[in-house]
């Protein structure tokens, strides 16, 4: 890590004020209250409204000493298992007696998706739980849950990491998003967080909505509210690989070192692959998908990614790469519905930001 970047980070860190709540002795989210040096568990209760109510598990790890308030959120997509298991690991292993500041963990936002093994959406209202932020107090379950997460977690934290991965039908290579807010000081801090997290492919995420009332994504909601934020993705197709879980756990610990929450120096990834745009390939027809490339392959524009056939074996769509880049994820299963994602290709930035 060049000295100039360290300096920029130190300056940016000193400029961003910690929340007033970070200085108080106890901290409460939902039914969980932790005193200094304690760990507490509980639920954010989402009351019934136009549809059923639900509960979102919450864990507070309140460090013995004051410091930053870091929010860790996973399981908005309840079958992106590696990210959920990574937060369960952190719940078990973070030691509040050795920590400064507070970590608030929401390990499983979308409990219905997890229990019913439904990818992408909350089966109660068929909405993605990462598309309806900042939420609505009188909306459907996903919107009410998003509203409470915004109020109880996003608005009160200093930093946020959102955890995802390849869903049941996605074969994904790990990567992170550096979420650009437009505030240079804040963005210098979130860039350091992405480098400290250590995943070696980083998407420069600049194109998300700037309207505070329609921020859609959790990371963008936090970023537009002044919180340095990254999103991290590892794991794929229902698997819980040791390497993926370890990357997410170690990355989180490295960011905590960067934020001076646990002892030790962060480990920064050197010369990551920066990605500055994404091309999404979708299927215009329903049928059977036969892939021809794997996740993490580099493809030239025009390269065939796979075929979609009808149920009699006739090819009805040849999926080709619209751009040159890296296969960040590709469909992992034969089931293909019209409009479904076939692959996401990351275009490599011409130079490092």
Which residues here bind Zn ion, judged by CB under 5 A? 77, 80, 164
Selection from 332, 348, 236, 341 nearest residue 300 by Cα:
348
Structure-derived torsion over alpha carbons of residues 75, 77, 83, 89, reported in degrees to the nearest 10: 30
Q: Give me the residue whose beta carbon is nearest to Zn ion.
A: 164
Distance CA 46, CA 52 (A): 9
- CB nearer to Zn ion: pick between 167 and 307: 167
As measured in angstroms, the least distance from the Cβ of 77 to Zn ion is 4
As measured in angstroms, the least distance from the Cβ of 25 to Zn ion is 35
- CB nearer to Zn ion: pick between 143 and 219: 219
- CB nearer to Zn ion: pick between 164 and 173: 164
Instruction: Compute the residue count for the chain.
Output: 353
- CB nearer to Zn ion: pick between 76 and 94: 76
Distance CA 182, CA 161 (A): 18
- CB nearer to Zn ion: pick between 263 and 339: 339
- The token pair at 53 is 């109510």
As measured in angstroms, the least distance from the Cβ of 176 to Zn ion is 13
Angle between helix 242-258 and 81-93 (nearest 10): 50
- ∠ CA 194-66-86 to the nearest 5 degrees? 40
Let me know how many helices (H) and strands (E) the chain has, helices first.
7, 19
As measured in angstroms, the least distance from the Cβ of 232 to Zn ion is 11
Selection from 287, 324, 286 nearest residue 305 by Cα:
324
- CB nearer to Zn ion: pick between 22 and 84: 84
- 74 in Cβ contact with 90 (< 8 Å): no
- CB nearer to Zn ion: pick between 102 and 221: 221
As measured in angstroms, the least distance from the Cβ of 274 to Zn ion is 21
As measured in angstroms, the least distance from the Cβ of 146 to Zn ion is 14
- 88 in Cβ contact with 98 (< 8 Å): no
Cis before 134 (ω within 30): yes
As measured in angstroms, the least distance from the Cβ of 74 to Zn ion is 9
């Amino acid at each position: 890590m060049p000295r100039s970047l360290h300096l920029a980070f130190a300056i940016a860190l000193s400029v961003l004020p910690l929340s007033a709540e970070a200085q108080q002795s106890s901290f409460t989210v939902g039914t969980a209250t932790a005193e200094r040096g304690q760990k507490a568990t509980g639920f954010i209760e989402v009351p019934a409204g136009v549809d059923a109510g639900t509960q979102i598990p919450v864990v507070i790890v309140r460090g013995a000493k004051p410091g930053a308030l870091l929010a860790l959120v996973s399981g908005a997509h309840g079958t992106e298992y590696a990210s959920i298991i990574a937060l369960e690991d952190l719940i078990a292993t973070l030691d509040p007696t050795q920590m400064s500041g507070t970590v608030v963990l929401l390990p499983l936002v979308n409990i219905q998706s997890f229990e019913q093994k439904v990818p992408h959406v909350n089966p109660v209202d068929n909405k993605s739980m990462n598309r309806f932020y900042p939420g609505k107090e009188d909306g459907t379950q996903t919107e009410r849950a998003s509203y409470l997460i915004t109020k109880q977690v996003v608005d009160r934290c200093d930093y946020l990491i959102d955890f995802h991965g390849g869903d049941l039908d996605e074969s994904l290579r790990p990567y992170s998003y550096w979420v650009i807010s437009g505030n240079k000081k804040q963005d210098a801090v979130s860039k350091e967080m992405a480098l400290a997290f250590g995943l070696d492919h980083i998407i420069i995420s600049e194109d998300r909505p700037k309207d505070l009332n329609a921020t859609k994504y959790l990371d963008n909601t936090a970023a537009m509210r002044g919180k340095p934020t990254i999103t991290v993705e590892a794991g794929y197709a229902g698997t819980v690989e040791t390497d993926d879980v370890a990357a997410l756990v170690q990355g989180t610990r490295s960011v905590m070192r960067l934020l001076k929450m646990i002892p030790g120096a962060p480990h920064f990834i050197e010369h990551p692959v920066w990605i500055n745009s994404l091309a999404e390939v979708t299927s215009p027809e329903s049928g059977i998908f036969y892939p021809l490339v794997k996740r993490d392959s580099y493809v030239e524009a025009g390269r065939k990614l796979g075929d979609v056939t009808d149920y009699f074996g006739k090819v009805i769509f040849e999926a080709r790469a619209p751009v040159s880049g890296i296969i960040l994820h590709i469909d992992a299963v034969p089931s293909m519905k019209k409009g479904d994602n076939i692959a996401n290709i990351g275009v490599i930035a011409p130079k490092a930001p």
